[in-house]
Copies of this chain bind each other. A is one copy, B any other.
Amino acid sequence: MNVPHPIALKPRKAPVQARSAAKVEGITEATIQVLLAEGPRRLTTTRAAQRAGVSVGTMYQYFPHKEALLYDVLRRHLEAVAQAVEAASARYRGQPLATMTDGLVNRYIDAKTARADASRALYLVASELDTTALMGRLRERIRTATIALLGSAADAEFDDIETAAFTLLAAMTGTLRTMFEQDTTPAHVHALRTQLTLMCQAYLEKATRPMR
């Protein structure tokens, strides 16, 4: 029989002991390695377990099914991105609109490119995962932080800050994703930093009234 829905994506047991934590970490890392070295088609539970040096049975003690392996990697990545946006929101609060936009875009790109290899690999398998709940939760964190940031601009006021934040974030995430799915050279990333900043600044200028 197939796995029934809905699926629990958390590890089966919390790694309370240091030995267990290391094992979970090893399995997760082995999963990334197999994915990058052999491709998504050859990422199987047996191969990941073998690479991690444990039996399939042991692996299933820590991860209830294959999806959970990748889910854990994805979760860490997305949480780092959300945290970067929240940090940018705090850091650039009250600045002029152009300054905060520059900061937000570049901190976001930093977070996305920090572990570019893993996040690129994740895009390859992301659709095999049921990420609806995870994505929703993290999108909400990012959305809240962005609205707080935009609302604090020293020199501009928004007519519809919710729509502006939604559009801004859709453009940022979508553009980065499009770039990652193609071949990404450092030169591309650099050009995109400038262009995406320019685009977001130009858009937000149009979506605001100047203050004073």
Contacts and interface: CB of A to CB of B under 8 A. Distances in A.
A195 B163 contact: yes
A198 interface: yes
A167 to B, nearest CB: 4
A70 to B, nearest CB: 11
Interface in A72-91: none
B178 A173 contact: yes
9 contacts: A2-B41, A3-B41, A123-B127, A169-B178, A170-B175, A174-B174, A195-B207, A199-B202, A199-B203
A10 B154 CA distance: 57
A209 interface: no
A15 B70 CA distance: 40
Given A41-B2, A123-B127, A127-B128, A199 B171 contact: yes
A206 B202 contact: yes
B167 A192 contact: yes
Interface in A112-155: 123-128, 135, 139
